[in-house]
Structure formats: C-alpha cells, structure tokens
Amino acid sequence: MIKIAFFDTKPYDRRWFDRLAGDYGCKIKYFETKLTADTAITAQGYDAVVAFVNDVIDAPAVDRLMEAGVRLIALRSAGYNNVDFRYACDKIPVVRVPAYSPSAVAEHAAALLLTLARKTHRAYVRTREFNFNISGLDGFDLHGKTVGVVGTGRIGQAFISICRGLGMRVLAHDPYPVDGLGLEYVPRETIWRESDVISLHCPLTPDTHHLVNADTIAQMKEGVILLNTSRGALIDSEALLEGLKSHKVGAAGLDVYEEESDLFFEDFSNSIIQDDTLSLLLSLPNVLITSHQAFLTDQALHNIAQTTLENIHRYFDKGELVNEICYHKDK
C-alpha cells in the first residue's frame, strides 16, 4: 500500500478519494492542517503528500518533506504557483491535475457574469424578505457586448464557447495563440480598451502578477465588468476597490482573492476579519465574491481524485512521472 498524507482536507475531498483510493493501492491519512514548512514533519513515514492551492510548498517545506522521507508531491489542483517547483526539481518530483473539468470553472465564471449582469444576487435577498420591488435591479443584455478573454487554454476556451452562445463578440489575448478556433487575438491593450467584460483565465506568473492594476484599469471602458476565476494576485485588489468606488469598474465577480490563503475555505461568520480591502469589496452591491469554489462540481471532484491517485500509482508502481511540473521542460 502507498501511504499518503493528505493536507488541507475538507469533507468534499474525502468523498471521492475514499471511494477510489483502494483501486489504486493507496492508503490515505487526512490532515486538516495546511501543508507548510512548519507542518511538513506531519508527513514523516508517508510516501507521498497530496496538497491543494493554499498549501505553501516553498523551499523550506520541500527540505522538510525530504527529511521526512516523502518521495512525491501530488497537487490535487491545476495551478501550481504555490509550489517552488524549481527548488523541488531533482529533489522531489511534483505532479498535478492539469485538467479536471474546464467546464466547471468556465461555467462558474459565466454564473458570476450572468448574476452581475442581471443582479439576481440582490433579487434573491429581496424576494426572500417578500420585497418584490424591482427598482435598482435594472441590468443589461450581454448579447452583442464584447468580452475580452485573457488566456485561451482549456478554461478560457470553454468560457469563450459559453460567451459565443450568449451572442457576445470575443476578443482574446494569449502569448501562445491557438490556431483553428477562429479567435480574434489582440494585444492586451486592445482587451482593456474595447471590452465590456474582461475575464482572466491565465496562470499567475511574474508576468501576470497584478495584470489588472491602476494603470490598466485606467485604460478600460467605463463600467467594465471584471471576472477572475484564476488566481487572486492577477488583480491588484486596492486598485480594483478604487476602480469600483470611482464607477470606472461597473462590477466584479471574483472566485479568487490575492490574500485568500488564510480566509477562503474556512468559516469566519462569527469573527471580525482584519482584511479591510476584502471587507470593503464585500460591502459593495456590484461585487460578487465566491471562495475559490469554481472547481467544486461532482464531475471535477471525481476527476481530481482519479487523476491524483493515478499520478501517484503510476509513479510508485511503474516509475512513471505523469503530469509532472518539470523545471527542465519549462526552461
């Protein structure tokens, strides 16, 4: 049996991993704690660790995992900006789940967009209190509007087909354009200048950190709708708040937030959170924040468990590294 230490566990993780673990010869111990340099010692005696988006696998954590005898880091996520994989290279292999359900994330981005466009989040609250007044709930048609999609990988493409179904004009930006999709690729500046809606579907890298900032917001259309289901730090949250306060930004739908790691996935409903920017964003009627749940569908959770366990099984039983995040290949 391959022994796995599973970090940052939530009930919805266990359901699918428990069902499938035996099929892949794996025995899982679930830990609620996040994986960091301080908690890595918990993995002593385990063959592999399974980690998620807010675990911090920096160089000290990699060292601790090596000392603990861990031989594989298996991310149960697509994004890997939380791992110092350059440092891990040649020490412990890192694998991930490159695609588990692009539709799940794309459909969530569309849900944020449709909600903001028609204010159904506010209507829901009103009618629950038998307030059937519709003043202030006026929205706008998406049909005929221009959507700028930054990143045309798996999720970006799925989002584009939804937008096309809604009758929107699509502009795309990606340093690696995809042929054959009939996409109109434009420079970033054109996305900012011409889009009524901008949706981010690129990874977080040094190049994309604070891609949306005071300067780029200034170039956008008055009333632009911003959507981010990728990684929080793609947007400078302070600049977004200023943009919303000045009405330059018409609405924002965020499934991710740059300071989410200590907050998202936990219940703070009885606490006073100390992040004033997040509190202010949440207080605005035209901001819709979900806590990194775009991936949370049955299909996606099943695929995440299956691919993660397959990655682990293939490495330990066959010596194969599938879905590896490899520095050498990226150079």
Q: Which residues form the interface with ligand NAI (CB under 6 A)?
A: 78-79, 99, 102, 105, 150-156, 173-176, 201-203, 207-208, 229-231, 255-256, 292, 294-295
Active-site position among 96, 108, 201, 292: 292
Q: How far is the CB of 7 from ligand NAI (least distance, A)?
A: 17
Question: What angle (nearest 5°) sits at the alpha carbon of residue 11, between those of residues 9 and 15?
Answer: 105
Q: How far is the CB of 300 from ligand NAI (least distance, A)?
A: 8
- Residue among 138 and 207 whose Cβ is closer to ligand NAI: 207
Q: What residue number has its CB nearest to ligand NAI?
A: 153
* Catalytic-residue membership of 209: no
Active-site position among 231, 258, 310, 324: 231
* Catalytic-residue membership of 292: yes
Question: What angle (nearest 5°) sits at the alpha carbon of residue 54, between those of residues 51 and 56?
Answer: 75
Q: What share of the chain is helix, strand, coil (3-state, %, to 5)?
A: 40, 15, 45
- Residue among 207 and 267 whose Cβ is closer to ligand NAI: 207
Q: Which residues contact 255 (CB under 8 A, 6 or more apart)?
A: 108, 109, 112, 228, 229, 289, 290, 291, 292, 293, 294
Residue given tokens 């009930």 in the structure block: 11
- Residue among 198 and 256 whose Cβ is closer to ligand NAI: 256
Residue by residue, DSSP assigns 185-223 as E--HHHHHHH-SEEEE-S---TTTTT-B-HHHHHHSPTT
Residue type, 118: R
User: Quick one: tokens of 285?
Assistant: 């009627």
Residue 83: other Cβ atoms inside 10 A = 22
In eight-state DSSP terms, residue 45 is: T
Residue type, 138: D
Q: How far is the CB of 231 from ligand NAI (least distance, A)?
A: 4
Could you tell me which of 155, 99, 98 has the C-alpha nearest to residue 323? 98
Q: How far is the CB of 12 from ligand NAI (least distance, A)?
A: 13
- Residue among 39 and 199 whose Cβ is closer to ligand NAI: 199
- Residue among 60 and 79 whose Cβ is closer to ligand NAI: 79
* C-alpha–C-alpha distance, residues 274 and 278, integer Å: 9
Q: How far is the CB of 200 from ligand NAI (least distance, A)?
A: 8
Q: How far is the CB of 127 from ligand NAI (least distance, A)?
A: 29
* C-alpha–C-alpha distance, residues 11 and 144, integer Å: 42
* Catalytic-residue membership of 231: yes
Active-site position among 76, 96, 258, 260: 260
Residues labelled as active-site residues: 231, 260, 292
